[in-house]
Amino acid sequence: MATIPLEIDNTQDDPRHRAPLVTGDHDLGTLTETVSRVAEAPRAPLAWYVAFTISAGLTIMLGGLIGYLIMTGVGVWGVNNPVAWGFAIINFVFWVGIGHAGTLISAILFLFRQHWRTGINRFAEAMTIFAVICAGMFPGIHVGRAWLAYWMFPLPNQMAMWPQFRSPLLWDVFAVGTYFTVSLLFWYVGLIPDLATFRDRAKTRVKQIVYGIFALGWNGSMRHWHRYERAYLILAALATPLVLSVHSVVSFDFAVAQLPGWHTTIFPPYFVAGAIFSGFGMVVTLAVPARELFGLKHIITMRHLDNMNKIILATGSIVGYAYSIEFFIAWYGAIPEERFAFISRAFGPYAWAYWIMFSCNAFVPQLFWFRKIRTSIPAMFIISLLVNVGMWFERYVIVVTSLSSDFLPSSWGPYVPTWVDAAMLVGSFGLFFTFFLLFCRYLPMVAMAEVKAVMPHTLKRSAHGDGHAGGAA
Amino acid sequence: MSQTVAAPSAPARTRSDSETRLAGMLVSFEEPGPLMGAAARMKEAGYTRWDVHTPYPIHGLDTAMGVRPTILPWIVFVAGLTGALSGIFLQYWTNATDARNFTFLPTNLQGYDYLISGKPFYSFPANIPVIFELTVLFSALAAVFGMLALNGLPTFHRSLFRSRAFQRVTDDHFFVSVDASDPIFDESTTGGLLAELGGSDVMRVEEPVVQPGMPRWLMAAGVIFACVTLIPLVVIAKARVSKSTEPRIHIWQDMDNQPRYKGQMQNAAFADERAMRPTVVGTVARGDLDALGTDRHRLEGLVDDQWATVFPESLRVTSAFMERGRRQFGIFCAPCHGLDGRGNGAVPARNPDGGREGWAGWVQPTSLHDQSVRDRAVGHLFNSITNGIRTMPPYRDQIEPDDRWAIVAYIRALQKASQADWNEVPAAARQELERRSGKRGND
């Protein structure tokens, strides 16, 4: 068996050798052991308990604030007339965007046969699901009378009142609902073989039963794998256009309105690029501490991080281009309101937010042109945090600047968030990390079955003719 | 065939729990290398109920085993098509069909074609996102649940799971298994074949003849749980058929109940503590004029309970009074009856066909030049304005009584004008009319 030292630099592309996707001297058994150990350890690392306590506390705070909001009314937020969207919609778009990287990794990179995706796809998909849960919460409580949120769905009722299907807000309901369902299915289908691994390794009866129920009786049958792989491919092919559609539809919420600064055709591609950008920022933010904490450095290697940083660089540049072309079109379009909207974005009362957005999203990722920075753990961690700060401010700039000053100066008004707004944003991070930490502790963080198929010695063996009945001794 | 399988008819209770039978055979491999050849040999040998088990999918192995391509893509295609058609139908039905054409359906299944900003009821481009999302949703559900159904999952009980060695199939070992129910299964020949496949260990898979049933406590818990879940349904069903004097539970207030004084309530703010206030001295409540016996001629158009045929004495029909009538007529009457009173005002002009067929809400405004209107006493016309007639609403709250009389006077003038003789036209007006129309002058 070829020995691959841990210290190998697999970020170099040498055409004579395929760079290994898993470093260290791993075979199938040690890989299973490394991944399963995280969930099987009787005690999690201390950092996990600290993080979980904080996150769970913030989640409880979020629950309390939602109760306060519903009992009191949306007046506890800073929303007003004209800025009726505020933090809730900013957070919604932010969290939906975060989710996109997970689907991109699991679906689009799968279709492109990017084998390095296998190391990170599981927790990126988990991130997608938890981010979409955070996202879906905000419109639900933003509707004012949250107990009537079910009116968003086409349910038969005695009033014969149906949703208005010509509205982008309703398309959102279908797009986000479908996105969540498909992401969950995709994630779960991928989990089935790994849950079976946990079931077969379980030391206690309870674990065996619980993992056993969710593993559905998986036994690695090749006849099952055959249909499983076909289903996985179909899901990837479905999720690819879906992920592009979801943020396009989210962008329609803005682009279909006639407000200056919103009514532009560049929004769908620009939103999708921004979503992938922010999502990869979040994946790096999560992957860097997770691989340290749970000893997954051989599986989530420097090459994985390097590749993700390259995607951040590419999508960040697309986003920077979109910011610039928006300005150009505002000038070229010669519509006074449009010109005003963009000048006031960059130099008006919200200029501070605009320049945070512009520098974090367009300038900072340019540092990734340097290989030293792409492969530096502290640098990429800080940049990934800045990317998410920048992307949150992008949504802030879009929502607040356009709403606060539209066509009619007499209806202009400033937006000032309240402490409830800020605490709910923080609380949504608490909810996200609570889910994520539970996932790290109790579910396979790495898609073991998929990684096994792309391990160096597996690939090598399948390259040397299969089918020779060589004795395994 | 295994001998132990041949005698299943004996009563299960008498069998010892430790008695087992052969359920199948297994051979394990530590490396995937020999699997291709093994699969080909098993297929050649004619086995049908056998399988290869691997920790990860090995491409090409399914072909070597003779697994036919799955029909899953077709299932997904049909589901996707269903999703697309559902999206089209849902949006067309709910947003673009007229409920009046489907009155035979229950209300909650009827569509509702409400107009949004004058856009078409059915607009395909605006419906594409939802059609797309439903196509993807249906397809994805079909892909996952179709795959599970074709694979026969979930199946929690398998005889293979009784083998401890087999647990490593989800870790790092590979297996070929043959089920004892295979028609050509024979313990010695099958075992011999498995031993030749290049694996390391040939194992028998035993299972108890008496399968342990579900534990009693679990079954009891299940029954209790099922009963408990029915309680809310029973409560709802009872509430639907029984009557109660209590107001219904009102969780979300929605400002339905507000602090305010209603009839017969006490209000400490007043000396007499009556929330309902008596009329202020010197005022007349609506509808009380009749009871007070005031000027019925002027206020109701009645003289001795008959329609008045002359104007009230307090009013003098002067040119200023007629001018007042003309202006009020133009404001309140002309929109429907038209400036000339022929019933062709701006409102009916927008409904040239008299509104929709079968809709009882529309009546063409009466022409004031009809003989029936000409024959009416002035008091009767006054009453029509005051209290309305047919679909015409009452105008007593909008037009002062004297102005109503002025309108009546103006209507009389219009009626006179439409049937006037040329000789009755004043000389000055006659000249003006001749100037405007040469033809008329030749009459």
- pLDDT by residue (tens digit) across B84-119? 999 999 999 998 888 888 888 888 888 888 888 778
Q: Identity (one letter) of the amino acid at A431?
A: L
Considering only residues B414 and B15, tell me which one the structure prediction assigns the higher pLDDT. B414
Q: Best residue in A30, A33, A173, A221 to probe B by mutation, most B CBs within 10 Å?
A: A221
- Is the Cβ of A281 closer than 8 Å to some Cβ of chain B? no
d(Cα B191, Cα B177) in Å, to the nearest integer? 11
Q: Does B55 sit within 8 Å of A449, measured CB to CB?
A: yes
Please list every residue in chain B whose beta carbon sits closer than 8 Å to the beta carbon of residue A159: 107
SS3 A383: helix
- Best residue in B74, B147, B173 for a mutation probing chain A (most A CBs within 10 Å): B147
Chain B residues 206-245 with CB within 8 Å of chain A:
none
Question: Are the beta carbons of A160 and B111 separated by less than 8 Å?
Answer: yes
- Please report the domains of chain A, with CATH numbers, ordered by start residue: 27-154+165-444 (1.20.1630.10)
Q: If you write DSSP's letter for every residue of A208-251 in order, what string do you get? A: HHHHHHHHTT---BHHHHHHHHHHHHHHHHHHHHHHHHHHHHHH
The answer for A 311-340 residues in CB contact with B (under 8 A) is none
**Is A292 near chain B, with CB under 8 Å?**
no
**Does residue B48 belong to the interface with chain A, where contact is any CB pair within 8 Å?**
no
Q: Are B24 and B51 within 8 A, CB to CB?
A: no
Of A222, A234, A468, the CB nearest to B61: A222
Taking the CA of residue B133 and the nearest CA in chain A, the distance in Å comes to 6
Contact check, Cβ <8 Å, A166/B141: no
3-state SS assignment for residue B215: coil
- pLDDT tens digits for A64-123? 999 999 988 889 999 998 999 999 999 999 999 998 888 888 888 888 888 888 888 888
Q: Does A225 touch chain B (CB under 8 A)?
A: yes
Q: Is the pLDDT of residue A8 over 80?
A: no
Residues of chain A with C-beta less than 8 angstroms from the C-beta of B114: 164
Higher pLDDT, B4 or B98: B98
Percent with pLDDT over 90 in chain A: 59
Residue of A238, A240, A464 for testing the chain B interface, max B β-carbons within 10 Å: A238
d(CA A251, CA A248): 5
- Work out the pLDDT band at B351, boundaries 50, 70, 90: low
Q: Which of the 8 DSSP states describes residue B266?
A: B
Between A225, A230, A242, which is nearest B73 by CB? A230
DSSP letters spanning A427-473 = HHHHHHHHHHHHHHHHS-SS-HHHHHHTSHHHHHHHHS-TT------
A366-422 tens-digit pLDDT: 999 999 999 999 999 999 999 999 999 999 999 999 999 888 888 899 999 999 999
pLDDT value of position A1 = 42
Which of A159, A162, A468 comes nearest B94 by C-beta? A162
Asked whether the beta carbons of residue A221 and residue B51 sit closer than 8 angstroms, the reply is: yes
- Would you call B170 and A174 a contact, using CB atoms and an 8 Å cutoff? no
Dihedral angle computed from the Cα positions of residues A429, A296, A292 and A25, in that order, rounded to the nearest 10 degrees? -170
Residues of B in contact with A239 (CB under 8 A): 136, 140
Cβ A397 vs Cβ A350: under 8 Å? yes
Provide the pLDDT for residue B314.
84
Amino acid at A120: I
Distance from CA of B106 to the nearest CA of A (A): 8
| pLDDT tens digits, A257-272 | 989 999 989 999 999 9
Distance of alpha carbon A300 from alpha carbon A356, whole angstroms: 31
More confident residue, B378 or B199: B378
CB B135 within 8 A of CB A196: no
**CA neighbours closer than 13 Å in the CB half-sphere of residue B156:** 9
Q: 3-state class of A314 per DSSP?
A: helix
The alpha helices in B66-208, defined as continuous H runs, are 72-96, 124-150, 187-195
What are the distances in angstroms from CA B437 to CA A116, B141, B280, B430? 94, 80, 61, 11
Which of A275, A239, A244, A240 minimizes the C-alpha distance to A98?
A275
> Angle CA(A55)–CA(A380)–CA(A274) in degrees, nearest 5?
80
Return d(Cα A369, Cα A372) in angstroms, integer. 9
Q: Is the peptide bond before A444 cis (omega within 30 degrees of 0)?
A: no
How far is residue A240's CA from residue A233's CA, in Å, rounded to a whole number?
11
Mean pLDDT of chain B: 85
Question: Is the Cβ–Cβ distance between A451 and A29 less than 8 Å?
Answer: no
Q: Is the peptide bond before B154 cis (omega within 30 degrees of 0)?
A: yes
Decide if B172 and A27 are in contact by the 8 Å CB cutoff. Answer: yes
| 3-state secondary structure string across B409-426 | HHHHHHHHHHCCCHHHCC
More confident residue, A468 or A177: A177
pLDDT the model gives residue A88: 93
Cβ of A225 within 8 Å of Cβ of B54? The answer is yes
What gap in Å lies between CA B57 and CA B174, rounded to an integer? Answer: 11
pLDDT at B192 over 70: yes
How far is C-alpha A416 from the geometric centre of its chain's CA atoms? 28
Q: Give tens-digit pLDDT for A276-310.
A: 999 999 999 999 988 888 888 888 888 889 999 99
Task: Please choose, from the candidates B327, B333, B401, the residue with its C-alpha nearest in 3D space to the C-alpha of residue B365.
Answer: B333
Interchain proximity A158–B108, CB inside 8 Å: yes
Higher pLDDT, B193 or A10: B193
Closest alpha carbon to A328 in A338, A319, A317, A337: A338
- The residue of A150, A166, A454 whose CB has the most chain B CBs within 10 angstroms, and thus the best one to mutate to test that interface, is A166
Contact yes or no for B175/B44 (Cβ under 8 A)? no
CB contact under 8 A, B169 and A229: no
- Which residue among A28, A147, A186 places its CB closest to the CB of B252? A147
Position B35 scores a pLDDT of 87
> Chain A residues with CB inside 8 Å of B163's CB?
none
**Minimum-distance CB partner of A171 among B130, B175, B254:** B130
What are the tokens at B252?
């979300």
Please tell me which residue of chain B has the smallest CA distance to A175: B133
Q: What is the pLDDT of residues A20-73, one digit of tens each?
A: 777 767 778 888 888 888 888 888 889 899 999 999 999 999 999 999 999 888
Give chain B's largest Cα–Cα span. Answer: 134
Q: Which residues contact B252 (CB under 8 A, 6 or more apart)?
A: A145, A147
Instruction: With CB atoms and an 8 Å threshold, state whether A468 touches B112.
Output: no
Query: Distance between CA A365 and CA A140 in Å, rounded?
Result: 34
pLDDT in tens, B120-156: 888 888 899 999 999 999 999 999 999 999 998 888 8
The whole-angstrom distance between residue A246's C-alpha and the CA centroid of its chain comes to 13
- Establish if B49 touches chain A: CB-CB under 8 angstroms: no
Structure tokens at A266: 């560049």
Say whether A470 and B34 touch across the interface (CB within 8 A): yes
Mean pLDDT lowest for which of A172-176, B91-95, B185-189?
Answer: B185-189
Q: How many CB pairs under 8 A join A and B?
A: 252
For A235, counting Cβ atoms within 10 Å of its Cβ (0-12 exposed, 13-18 middle, 19+ buried), the class is buried
For position B9, what pLDDT does the model report? Answer: 44
B143 touches chain A (CB under 8 A): yes
SS3 call for B46: coil
A453:B155 CB<8 A: no
- Report helix, strand or coil for B173: coil
- pLDDT on residue B101: 84
- Burial class of residue A48, CB neighbours in 10 A (0-12, 13-18, 19+): middle
> Once rounded to an integer, what is the mean pLDDT over residues A306-325?
93
Q: Does A184 touch chain B (CB under 8 A)?
A: no
CA distance from start to end of chain A = 15
* CB contact residues (below 8 A), chain B span 344-383, against chain A: none
Q: Provide the pLDDT confidence category of residue B247 given band limits of 50, 70 and 90.
A: confident
Give the helix ranges, DSSP H, for B122-245: 124-150, 187-195, 216-241
Residue pair A357/A401 in contact (Cβ under 8 Å)? The answer is: no
Are the beta carbons of A166 and B123 separated by less than 8 Å?
yes
Task: Choose the mutation target among B133, B163, B218 for the interface with A, i.e. most A CBs under 10 Å.
Answer: B133
Confidence tier at A210 by pLDDT (50, 70, 90): very high
Task: For residue B194, name the pLDDT band (cuts at 50, 70, 90).
Answer: confident
Q: B122 exposed, middle or buried (CB, 10 Å; 0-12, 13-18, 19+)?
A: middle
Contact B170 A199 (CB under 8 A): yes
pLDDT, residue B352, reads 56
Report chain A residues whose CB lies below 8 A from the CB of B60.
466
Interface test with chain A among B28, B56, B75, by most A beta carbons within 10 Å = B56
Residue B12 has pLDDT above 50, yes or no: no
Which of A29, A158, A221 lies nearest to residue B172, judging by beta carbons?
A29
On whether any CB of chain B is under 8 Å from the CB of A224, the answer is yes
Cα–Cα distance measured from residue A311 to residue A471, given in angstroms and rounded to the nearest whole number: 44
Per the listing, tokens 């990869």 go with A280
Q: Is the CB of residue B178 less than 8 Å from the CB of residue B25?
A: yes
CB proximity under 8 Å: B 147-186 to A = 147-148, 150-151, 153-158, 160-161, 166-172, 175
Per-residue pLDDT, averaged over B211-238, amounts to 91
Average pLDDT value for residue range B267-289? 84
Q: Which residues contact B164 (CB under 8 A, 6 or more apart)?
A: none
Top residue of B86, B93, B107, B151 to mutate, by most chain A CBs within 10 Å, is: B151
Mapping DSSP to helix (H, G, I), strand (E, B) and coil, where does residue B389 land? strand
DSSP strands (E only) in A284-426: none
Is-contact A118 A454, C-beta < 8 A?
A: yes
User: pLDDT tens across A414-473, in order?
Assistant: 999 999 999 999 999 999 999 999 999 899 988 888 888 887 666 555 444 443 333 332
Average pLDDT taken over every residue of chain A:
88
Interface contact flag, B171 A32, Cβ < 8 Å: yes
Average pLDDT over residues A129-134: 94
Mean pLDDT, range B271-296, rounded to an integer: 80
Which residue matches tokens 């979040």?
A282
Give the model's pLDDT for residue B134: 96
B292 or A163, greater pLDDT: A163
Q: CB distance from A171 to chain B under 8 Å? A: yes
Condensed to tens digits (0 to 9), the pLDDT of residues B331-345 reads 999 998 999 998 888
Tell me: pLDDT of A17 over 80.
no
